[in-house]
Amino acid sequence: MSDVILLAPHDDVAVATRDLVPGESVTTGDGESDGNPTVVVVRDRVPRGHKVALRDLPLGSEVRKYGQVIGRTTRPVPAGSQVHVHNLEMPRMPDVPGASDAASDYAYATEHRELPVPEGERPTFLGYRRADGRVGTRNYVAIVTSVNCSASTARFVADQFRGRALAQFPHVDGVVALTHGSGCGLVPTSEGGRTLLRTLRGYAAHPNVGGVLVLGLGCEMLQVDALVAEAGIPADTLVRRLVIQETGGIRATVRAAVAEIEAMLPELDARRREVCDVSDLVLGLNCGGSDGYSGITANPALGVASDLLVAYGARSVLAETPEVYGAEHLLTRRAVSPEVGRRLIDRIAWWREYAAAGGGTLDNNPSPGNKAGGLTTILEKSLGAVAKAGSADLAAVYQYAEPIDTPGLGFMDTPGYDPVSVTGLVAGGATVVVFTTGRGSVLGCKPSPSIKVATNTAMYLRMHEDMDLNAGRIVDGTASLAEVGREIFDLVLAVASGRETVSEELDLGQDEFQPWLLGTVT
């Protein structure tokens, strides 16, 4: 078992996996060449989850963790010392938020990291290739509702296809009712209207959806026909529409909808998975119920898997703007172009205004609990969230629910709130989601599978029926970051090919459809 975790080669600090005491020697690194001393003698008490200096750090030194500067020493720090609030402060650099809000203070596209394609055979998975060339990992019927008033009806219809009802259609994964609380007085051209419309269209056109039934009440602003128009639905997706007020009420609509879906099933069940290249995958990255281990186990392990996918040419998308806040200046440097970097900063500026209009501030500073857990600065905290995205260049920035159309690592602007964030990613076209959690979040996201990665072993054991993989082994010292990263990568491919996640076994993922509702409710 390793005493410490090194999060990136050449880091100045490592994270203790147990309480360290003065005088003991600890071994760093995971056996690979990482440019660090292999043995350090501990000088202070360093609690589990806290940082220990790997080399002498003179006054004013930049201190690196995750390969990034997380602060500057405020006194000389000898190797083996604890590094925390008493000897580390936020770096004063021109492009650090707080110094100034001007976008010109950020550096854009100044870093570039080549992620070489691993040697050996290219990985593949078994997916559903759709008429527009995109590849699904599931084959669902989606009932897309234009308004809350058709929500109950949509659920009544979906309920008819639960349990054994689809037993004779083994290539159809289910019928999912996508219901929400909006759509009535919403002006389709308002920001809230456009966001909801983009979300609903993204689901209607999703490659994991073979057939779609669009269901409205009739008197809503967001009309069924307008929803389907320009949704970019693949030509081979079966599309049906029903409007309750035209169909004669709820009972009549349930009967008609069940008949429409029954008529689709034989054709949908004839679809077959085929061998697809790994680059056809679209991965959504997310976390929820984070704890002190998220940033040192599950998140960086997911970053390893994301980098592998990006190296092969797949798409992988980070999200949750408020949780990334404080590290956006590092993402702008990783942007492939100044334009991409500026799109990110535009979204950050939007969030500052949004938070101010709500009477708050966009605050991602470490809380007292965070500090007790070992997090010293806002940068370090945000880097723990950004770690899910590995080290790839940032190829694209998407608005909420915008189509994910660019190979490589992307960033989608979403709230941090789990169901709302994941709904945006799936609407954008994510066909697999990996969700890291410390406290035990239980999110599913039909029609896409969500792989749950536990950050710590205690929670994994307590909630093993709800977790797919235990990254807590990294802090237990029984597996390396690289090993768990590879396991996540392999699991993504297996799940993409049809292996059920625990949330699918539990039939979760319908209630978690939660579009971002912007704008006032009147």
Contact pick of 204, 345, 434, 442 for a copy of itself (by CB under 8 A): 442
Angle between helices 481-496 and 298-311 (to 10 degrees): 60
Amino acid type, 286: N
- Which residues within the stretch 498-517 sit at the binding site for a copy of itself (CB under 8 A)? 506-512, 514, 516-517
Task: Choose the binding region for a copy of itself from 21-29, 241-249, 311-319, 329-337 (rule: CB under 8 A).
Answer: 241-249
x/- binding map, residues 255-294, to a copy of itself, per CB under 8 A?
A: ---------------------------------xx-----
The verdict on 468 binding a copy of itself (CB under 8 A) reads: no
Pairing relation of β-strands 68-73 and 88-89?
A: antiparallel
CB nearer to Ca ion: pick between 2 and 294 = 294
- The reply on whether position 249 binds a copy of itself by CB under 8 A is yes
- Reading phi first (left if > 0) and then psi (alpha if -120 to 50, else beta), residue 400 is in beta
Closest CA to 68 of 484, 390, 435: 390
Give 116's DSSP letter: P
Q: Which two tokens stand for residue 365?
A: 């500073």
Q: Does 443 bind a copy of itself (CB under 8 A)?
A: yes
472 scored as a contact of a copy of itself (CB under 8 A): no
**Neighbour count for residue 261 (Cβ, 10 Å):** 22
| Contact region with a copy of itself (CB under 8 A), list: 40-48, 50-58, 275-283, 458-466 | 458-466
Tell me the C-alpha distance between 51 and 81, whole Å: 8
The site string for a copy of itself over 67-106 (x = CB under 8 A, - otherwise) reads: ----------------------------------------
Is 56 or 505 the residue whose CB approaches Ca ion more closely?
505
Contact 8, 67 (CB under 8 A): yes
DSSP labels for 449-496? -EEEEESSHHHHHHTGGG-SEETTHHHHTSS-HHHHHHHHHHHHHHHH
Q: How far is the CB of 256 from a copy of itself (least distance, A)?
A: 13
Binding mask 160-189 for a copy of itself (x = CB under 8 A): -------------------x-x--xx----
**Which structure tokens are listed for 288?**
């929820």
Q: Which residues pair with 15 in a beta bridge?
A: 5, 51
Smallest separation, CB 288 to a copy of itself (Å): 8
Handedness of CA 341, 362, 325, 283 (dihedral sign): negative
DSSP states of 203-231: HHT-TTEEEEEEEE-SS-SS-HHHHHTTS
Q: Does 419 bind a copy of itself (CB under 8 A)?
A: yes
393 binds Ca ion (CB under 5 A): yes
Q: Give dist(CA 172, CA 510) in Å, integer.
A: 16
> What's the closest the beta carbon of residue 378 comes to a copy of itself, in angstroms?
15
What is the longest distance spanned by two Cα atoms in the chain?
80
Q: Does 197 bind a copy of itself (CB under 8 A)?
A: no
What residue has token string 């929670």? 459
> For residues 460 and 473, is the Cβ–Cβ distance under 8 A?
no
The partner in contact with residue 403, picked from Ca ion, a copy of itself, none with C-beta cut-offs of 5 to 8 angstroms by kind, is: none
Q: What residue 508 binds from Ca ion, a copy of itself, none (CB within 5 to 8 A, per partner kind)?
A: a copy of itself
Contact pick of 216, 322, 408, 447 for a copy of itself (by CB under 8 A): 322
Question: What's the min distance (Å) between Cβ of 361 and a copy of itself?
Answer: 10
Stretch near a copy of itself under the rule CB under 8 A, chosen from 70-78, 208-216, 371-379, 461-469: 461-469
Q: Pick out residues in 359-388 that bind a copy of itself (CB under 8 A).
A: 360, 362
CA triple 238-241-247, angle to 5 deg: 145
For Ca ion, which residue of 8, 79, 109, 362 counts as binding (CB under 5 A)? Answer: 109
Q: Are 245 and 218 in contact (CB under 8 A)?
A: yes
Task: Name residues contacting Ca ion, limited to 403-422 (CB under 5 A).
Answer: 416, 418
Q: Give the CA-trace dihedral at 370, 379, 115, 398, to 10 degrees.
A: 100
Q: In the complex, which residues of this chain contact a copy of itself (CB under 8 A)?
A: 148-149, 151-153, 155-156, 179, 181, 184-185, 217-219, 244-245, 248-252, 288-289, 322, 354-355, 357-358, 360, 362, 415-420, 439-444, 459, 462-466, 506-512, 514, 516-517, 519-522
Q: In the complex, which residues of this chain contact Ca ion (CB under 5 A)?
A: 109, 112, 288, 393, 416, 418
